[in-house]
Amino acid sequence: MTINLYFEDVNIGDEVPAWARKTSFMEWNRYAAVNDEFVPFHMDDKAGVAAKNEQGAFGMGNLRYAYIVNALRDWIGDEAEIREVGCQYRAINQKDDVLTVTGKVTEKKTEGGENLVMLTTNVVNQNNEATCPGHAVLVLPNRVNSGS
């Protein structure tokens, strides 16, 4: 993807376009394979129940972190930088949840020659329950210097 978001195009209060994925064993297995995270309570319903989750196996917190990074990359394009992402895992991702990354611009400034954009982020489930509040810092190109 080469869509570029420029510093001049972003305003405080702007929202990151919603980015959603339904998650279940298939997505968890794929993520676990790439990250060597075959933890029983993420793969097996009995292990999930033994870990005190009545609904059985549950998703990886770090998968939601990856969703945030993917949502931001899709929004800003290849010419910008994701400088920082932080989040907290506040609720379990259950099987077949639809997780949607949300974000809102809270600040923008030029500092040290860089165009910084700060955001609050979250991953909400299909019931609009916040599961993963966090923040991000982006470095965006300047439209004037890019030739666009």
Overall pTM > 0.85: yes
Residue 64 domain flag: yes
pLDDT of residue 58: 93
* Tokens encoding 112: 């040290």
Residue 30 domain flag: yes
pLDDT of residue 97: 96
Domain range holding 52?
A: 7-146
Number of domains into which the chain is organized? 1
**What is the residue type of 110?**
T
Question: Across all residues in the chain, what is the average pLDDT?
Answer: 93
Residue 70 domain flag: yes
Residue 2 domain flag: no
Helices (H) and strands (E) in the chain, counts: 5, 5
pLDDT in tens, 103-137: 999 999 999 999 999 999 999 999 999 999 999 99
Residue 82 domain flag: yes
* 24 vs 80: CA distance, rounded Å: 31
CATH number, domain containing residue 26: 3.10.129.10
* 24 vs 12: CA distance, rounded Å: 35
pLDDT in tens, 23-46: 988 898 898 899 888 899 999 999
Residue 1 domain flag: no
Residue 59 domain flag: yes
Burial 32-41 (b: 16+ CB within 10 A, else e): beeeeeeeeb
Residue 27 domain flag: yes
